[in-house]
Structure 1
Amino acid sequence: MARKKTKQLKHKLLKYLLLTIVSGILLIFAFIGSIRIGLFGALPDKELLSKVENPQASAILDENGKNLGYLYRVYRSDVAYKDLPENLIDALVTTEDARFYNHNGVDYRSLGRVLFKTVLMQDRSGGGGSTITQQLVKNLFPRDYDNKLGLLVTKVKEVLIAQRLEEIYSKEEIITLYLNTVSFPDNTFGIKAASQTFFNKPVNKLSVNESAVLVGSLKANHTYNPRLFPEQSKERRNVVLYQMNKYGKISQEVYEQKIKEDIKLNYNSVKPSEGIASYLREQVRKQLANWVEEYNQDADEPLDIYGDGLVVHTTINKELQLLAEAAMKEHMAVLQKAFEDNWGQSAPWNKQSVYQRELEKTGIYKQLVAEGKSAAEIQKAINQKSERIAFSWSGDKAKQLSVLDSIKNSLKTLQAGFLAMEPSNGAIKAYVGGVDFEHFKYDHVLQSKRQVGSTFKPFVYAAALESGVKPCDYFPASDVTYSNLEGWTPTNSDSEDYTHINVTMQEAMRKSMNTVSVRLMEESGIAEVLQLAKDAGIESELPKVPSLALGTAELSMLELAKAYTTFLNGGKPSEPFFITKITTPTGKVLAEFKPNVHSDAAFSDQTRQIILEMMQSVVQSGTASRLGWKYKLTQDIAGKTGTTQNNKDGWFVGLLPNLVTVSWVGADNGAIGFRSTSIGQGANSALPIFGLFMQKLNTVSELRRKYNQQFAAPSSRVVKLMDCPPTKEDGFFKKLFTNEEKAKTKKFDEDGKQNDGLFKKIKGIFQKD
């Protein structure tokens, strides 16, 4: 009887067990079915999955299609299956999903192992059960849950979507999609970005070991980052190599050889703030953003400059850009040391009157003030040292620095800019906006406006020529005090005695004589100089004062370069531009930008030729002569140096027959200049950037052929007009009858109608061409 009851109980328990199992299975199917029909949120349909696209970084290319950098939220760039090396695919499949080619998106054997070992036995060594296809789903549709039910729903969704993907895409396409979407260390997305970042090479050039390193890092981006943790990365790489050997993708001999090799990175950061032409790329980003905003107003499908993979074609020449950046860095590292050594202990950046204003702009200072801290507490806080990164030409390193230390370091850092553009159309070929974009975002080519010093003089000379002054007219070179200008006395930068010495325009330009520049402005009148400058493309408001002749105008480097194109372009200014066209990733042209050359000339071609001849003499034997004796440059170059008051700005404009360049050096803070003119003058501070740039250019045969041209010979009339001795001393009678004190004092007539007496009138009567 007892036996019968036991049998009935077993039968009943078995029945309940089977019922429970069936109910459980039905419940599971019902649960999966509810997910499938969208009760927990709609699943992406096949139409959507068939149009899977990754956000693509927009590429910025130079004039020859060479890459300058990218615009992106996260760095990502796609690659085609044909460009994936076999060793990379083998490393991925053998490590992440050995049965990849045999399942339909779900590996049930691996899934069972995970359920038994990881879930039931709580053994974390059981590994993961996600296939490559399931991992692709996680890349395409990031997980979003906040409880265990949400996790379960998400995992089921991933299985269902994975199966749909397998129905739509081939195995090769799934591998390609996966490698284009997966995250690698250092915030790089996709194998192309990772290959470029860590090994600086295209994907199809990855070696077995390099492929194993990148695939190994997928397990944990931070833990196996080869840049941060090379030993851990090497251990993980060897696991990948073991898997490749286990599944017959590499031989035992190759495996044993490869695991002994160290990881050799060729790290190439692609952060927007780093790399080549960073200042130019920021200007491209701004211009592109403005263009897209306007484009999207009428577009059916709005564009995203960070995700639609736009291709921006620029006028930049990558080789010239690299040479310009190298020249700037080489010179500025030396100049910075000389600058600091020359100031010594009396450096202005150590004075509270200089650094206090900068300190008050900082967030920490404003916060301390808002909290009601006392002066003593504020002083203590800003002098509290902590680990900070400060810019240095010897390399950025973490140092123990206070807030005040950082401010002083920034104040004393000299800035520089360099620009090269074609005068015929305004196409910018090289653009260096500062010494380091990572630390100093302010762009000195486009944003900064500084006094231009003597680089403005060619426009004063051009206005004088246009008003009737002849190149061989002589002007007193001595100092003059203008009584109607509060005793203003322009002086020359050299110490020569010019009493009774008269010079031609060319001699005055060669030596950059301030006294003669002011006299020439008297001849033409300030209004005429202002109009000529406007016609030459200068749009900034210029000071209507006699000191304009000495370069008190504040212009951007870009504006100055534009004005100088007139001397190489028939008197017509060319508008600077750096974007030629914008296309889609497939090459469809969305916009094109054409050169804009002004139709009217600012001055006659005769004036242009004369000024160009004068500026060549500046290089041959004048203030820019070190281009020959120091930098050994022998090609045709015209130029003009410039230095502003207290040596706060150093300038050099260098002209080749088919290239306009502008160099500038100075401190951002207006209270800081060079202590010594010998160091701070434009010939020493700014000119060397051009000199080194040209030296480097001359070593590249293709660039040398293009830019080592000769200026067109001046007309016979211009040669005749300029054929005269550079100086002339006052005659005996003029010396005898000139009252020295009276000769050194006069009034400035800004309308150019100064009455210089009978001798000038007589001279005008008998003046001959």
Structure 2
Amino acid sequence: MAKAKKETTKVQNYSKYIRWMWILFLGGILSVVSLFLLASWGAFGEMPDHTVLENPKTNLATEIISSDGKTLGKFYFNDNRTPVSYDELPQQLVDALIATEDARFHEHSGIDARGTIRAIIKPGSGGASTVSQQLAKQLFHGEGSKNIIERVLQKIKEWIIAIRLERQYTKEEIIAQYFNIYDFGNNADGIRSASRIYFNKEPKELDLKESAMLVGMFKNSSLYNPRPSRNPVGVKNRRNVVLAQMYKYDYITEKVKDSLQKTELDLNYSPESHREGIATYFRGYLDGFMKQWIKNNPKPDGTKWNLYNDGLKIYTTIDSRMQTYAEDAVQQHMPRLQAEFFHQNTPDRNPTAPFLDLEPEEEKALMRRGMRQSERWRHMKYDLKKSNKEIEASFQKPIKMTVFKWEDGKPSEVDTIMKPMDSMRYYKSFLRTGMMSMDPQTGHVKAWVGGMNYRHFQYDMVKQGRRQVGSTFKPFVYATAIDQLHFSPCDELPDTPFCIEAGKFGNPEAWCPRNSGDDYGGKRTLKDALANSVNTITAQLIDKVGPQTVVDLVEKLGVESDIPAVPSIALGTTDISVYDMVGAYSTFANQGVYTKPVMVLNIEDKNGTVLYQFKPETRDVLNAETAYVTVKLMEGVTQSGSGARLRGKGRDSYRADFREIITGYPYEFTNPIAGKTGTTQNQSDGWFMGMVPNLVTGVWVGAEDRAAHFKTITYGQGAAMALPIWGLYMKSCYADETLGVSKADFTPPVELSIIVDCSKVPDDHTNSNSPEEDTLDELEF
């Protein structure tokens, strides 16, 4: 009896244990379920709902896209991110990710149970976090807390979000989002930026070892930074781990693994910033354009677009190939010209270098003006509230700085210690340039180079800068005479001294310009006079048509500069931008129709909705005959005038330190080219405007201050300063047959009543409009 009672008590005790075991087990399950339910309801912090999961908040850079589909640059603050679709990812990149980060990615629904259990039983074995969980962490709660309780709660939230993501998106969409969201360092936000910055490629172009390197960076992009100054050895080792994982899961063979593990990283590091890359000056212009557009075009809900976060796409007219050729042309010519300028302006040759013809007081005033216009002055005056005396003293104290220099014909930087005042003088000794190229029929701007180096010379000499245009203004005078008086290129005028008397056209005193070199004699055809930039002939023409008539024409040609109606404008005394000059000249190539230059074609939001679409702005300015005759006049410039070196074989020879020998150029162009050189009176500004039927390009070269210039016209003329850039650019454009740059003749009008072929002029042909008085003029070559 006692024994039976004892056994009954023992069974009851076992039952009690079993009951408690079940209570604990079920209670544990209930607690876990409750924990997950509470987390999903937001009890431990806000959880993303269906709408947020569908549209996760990520900052997207605004992308600037060229006419040939290339990315010119981006606008962004912190996140240089441009998303790509799954179809834009190479298969080996996806395989590398799955093999390394989530081998059972296609088998689970957000949580890898096997990997989680293994991680709990054997900490450090890996496999606990799936790609979906990592995406959830990246999108919605970032880095984990150091507090163990908070870490557990965050992990629970991560699991819940991962499951929701798997329900919301396909596996392919999750992969794409994961690649798009990750920060690869060095402003490489997302796979597209990473592939461009580290390898200068689009993601689809990545090869196997490049893909493995980028996937390896998912481990820790701060630690595994491939830049030579950071951790390239660690990155290579990590890449090799990825390759080993790909072999382990049968994505690659052992032979491929072994061969690739022996290779170097082979980076092609191409940083993306606002001051680096292609078309930097154009992007600077575009920044202002977009801010104005945003100001006038709110979102449908009334809020403003964010240029740096909203992922806009700006489709531009710039052709990345032509932009590259333009920048290359500038960087081929400018260091050679600069070297010659430095050679002529050593302290022994020019004690006031880089300035010429300045008295000491004038030089001091120029430097003082430059000091007060500098960013340093603005910062100290308005941000630091320093007195004028303190600021002026700071310009005389040596400090550490990085300055620009040409080195072996390439832009470079050097760290040095220099007084800010000395650095100002140093930068004033550099020649600058502005260049723009445009299709005259469509108005599409194909290339825009506002200077040599945007990091150090940010003032844009295409649209911001305006300089004296010299003889490039003369075609406007000739066009007016052709339009008003029906002149022919074959008509002759006397090449003799000429004055416009005081009082005429409001002149306070007589205007008696001179020819270059005081060279006169005989008669010249208009074609010969323009080809050789004869000032006397131009003066006679503006005397006949009147300055106001010329000004009216120039305004219709889109020039926005304030031009006084005085005779001296005939020689280019007015300041005009490269942008306006190219637009104006394009009218001649477009049969007298002015087409306003256009740079932006479309603007879209991140979903592809069109927000802006440009509308062409055109107007008839000249009849087709006048435009064609003016073009034929300008063809003479490149046939026998100051632009004739474009035809010559020449010698491509240079002095040892890149100073160019102005003896000829190896361009050998044989196709029709209309153009005009321009040189201002003291050789401070050199211009060349060149046209073929479907491309008009303008180039300006000069220093920041007109007091810095070549002493003689040998190097200081437009044919030496600016024309070589045009020639180098066009050589590259013609070599690239995909561009379709024309070599054909300019199209004549249907009816042509003016003689343009002077070889067919009758012997008794005379110009009934020839003046009896003489002419004279000079301001440029």
TM-score band by shorter chain is 0.7 to 0.9
Q: CA deviation at 1:213?
A: 0.8
Instruction: Report the TM-score, using the length of structure 1 for normalisation.
Output: 0.82
User: In 2, Cα distance between the equivalents of 1:156 and 1:84?
Assistant: 31
Are the aligned partners of 1:107 and 1:129 in contact in 2 as well (CA < 8 Å)? yes
User: 722, 732, 739: which one pairs with 1:686?
Assistant: 722
In structure 2, the gaps of 5 or more residues are 1-9, 356-362, 649-664, 767-771
Q: State the partner residue of 1:532.
A: 553
Indicate yes or no: 2:692 matched with 1:656: yes
Indicate yes or no: 2:526 matched with 1:490: no
Q: State the partner residue of 1:766.
A: none
Q: CA deviation at 1:620?
A: 1.0
Secondary structure at 1:227 match in 2 = coil
User: In 2, Cα distance between the equivalents of 1:653 and 1:101?
Assistant: 62
Question: Superposed, which structure 2 residues align to 1:36-435 within 5 Å?
Answer: 36-52=40-56, 54-73=58-77, 74-107=79-112, 129-143=128-142, 148=147, 153-228=153-228, 229-296=231-298, 298=300, 304-345=306-347, 346=350, 348-349=353-354, 353-362=365-374, 364-365=376-377, 379=393, 382-386=396-400, 388-392=402-406, 393-402=409-418, 403-435=420-452
Q: CA deviation at 1:551?
A: 0.8
Secondary structure at 1:39 match in 2 = coil
Distance 1:412-1:218 versus aligned 2 partners, 3 A rule: farther
User: 518, 527, 535: which one pairs with 1:514?
Assistant: 535
Secondary structure at 1:396 match in 2 = strand
User: In 1, Cα distance between the equivalents of 2:334 and 2:127?
Assistant: 54
Q: CA deviation at 1:531?
A: 1.8
Distance 1:511-1:316 versus aligned 2 partners, 3 A rule: same
Are the aligned partners of 1:425 and 1:597 in contact in 2 as well (CA < 8 Å)? no
User: 687, 697, 700: which one pairs with 2:736?
Assistant: 700
Residue deviations 1:370-408 (CA, integer Å, cap 9, x gap):
676897996577543425253535332342243345434
**Which deviates the most, 629-638 or 79-88?**
79-88
Are the aligned partners of 2:498 and 2:540 in contact in 1 as well (CA < 8 Å)? no
Q: State the partner residue of 2:670.
A: 634
Residue deviations 1:104-143 (CA, integer Å, cap 9, x gap):
434466556767887xxxxxx6768433222101221243
Q: State the partner residue of 2:5.
A: none
Q: CA deviation at 1:155?
A: 3.8
**Which deviates the most, 578-587 or 374-383?**
374-383
More helix by share: 1
In structure 1, the gaps of 5 or more residues are 1-6, 119-124, 729-733, 747-769
Q: State the partner residue of 1:718.
A: 755
Q: State the partner residue of 2:705.
A: 669
Q: State the partner residue of 2:524.
A: 503
Indicate yes or no: 2:621 matched with 1:597: no
User: 556, 571, 589: which one pairs with 1:550?
Assistant: 571
**Which deviates the most, 323-332 or 372-381?**
372-381
**Matched residue type, 1:559:** D
User: In 2, Cα distance between the equivalents of 1:707 and 1:570?
Assistant: 16
Q: CA deviation at 1:208?
A: 2.8
Q: CA deviation at 1:521?
A: 1.8
**Matched residue type, 1:456:** F
**Which deviates the most, 81-90 or 691-700?**
81-90
Secondary structure at 2:647 match in 1 = helix
User: In 2, Cα distance between the equivalents of 1:380 and 1:720?
Assistant: 65
Q: CA deviation at 1:672?
A: 2.4
Q: State the partner residue of 1:3.
A: none
Secondary structure at 2:516 match in 1 = coil
User: 587, 605, 612: which one pairs with 1:566?
Assistant: 587
Distance 1:708-1:405 versus aligned 2 partners, 3 A rule: same
Secondary structure at 1:417 match in 2 = strand
Q: CA deviation at 1:575?
A: 1.2
Are the aligned partners of 2:495 and 2:775 in contact in 1 as well (CA < 8 Å)? no
Distance 1:103-1:338 versus aligned 2 partners, 3 A rule: same
Are the aligned partners of 1:504 and 1:726 in contact in 2 as well (CA < 8 Å)? no
Paired positions, count: 714
Are the aligned partners of 1:111 and 1:129 in contact in 2 as well (CA < 8 Å)? yes
Secondary structure at 1:316 match in 2 = coil
Are the aligned partners of 1:664 and 1:686 in contact in 2 as well (CA < 8 Å)? yes
User: In 2, Cα distance between the equivalents of 1:627 and 1:574?
Assistant: 27
Q: Percent identity?
A: 36
Distance 1:455-1:223 versus aligned 2 partners, 3 A rule: same
User: In 2, Cα distance between the equivalents of 1:164 and 1:616?
Assistant: 70
Secondary structure at 1:400 match in 2 = strand
Instruction: Report the TM-score, using the length of structure 2 for normalisation.
Output: 0.81
Are the aligned partners of 2:137 and 2:143 in contact in 1 as well (CA < 8 Å)? no
User: In 2, Cα distance between the equivalents of 1:46 and 1:636?
Assistant: 64
**Matched residue type, 2:430:** T
Q: CA deviation at 1:459?
A: 1.5
Q: CA deviation at 1:365?
A: 4.9
Residue deviations 1:138-185 (CA, integer Å, cap 9, x gap):
221243898846655444322321222233334333222211211112
What do you get for the CA RMSD once the two structures are aligned? 4.0
Q: State the partner residue of 1:440.
A: 457
**Matched residue type, 2:529:** A
Indicate yes or no: 2:655 matched with 1:643: no
**Matched residue type, 1:553:** T
Q: CA deviation at 1:214?
A: 0.6
Distance 1:671-1:297 versus aligned 2 partners, 3 A rule: farther
User: In 2, Cα distance between the equivalents of 1:657 and 1:689?
Assistant: 19
**Matched residue type, 2:279:** A
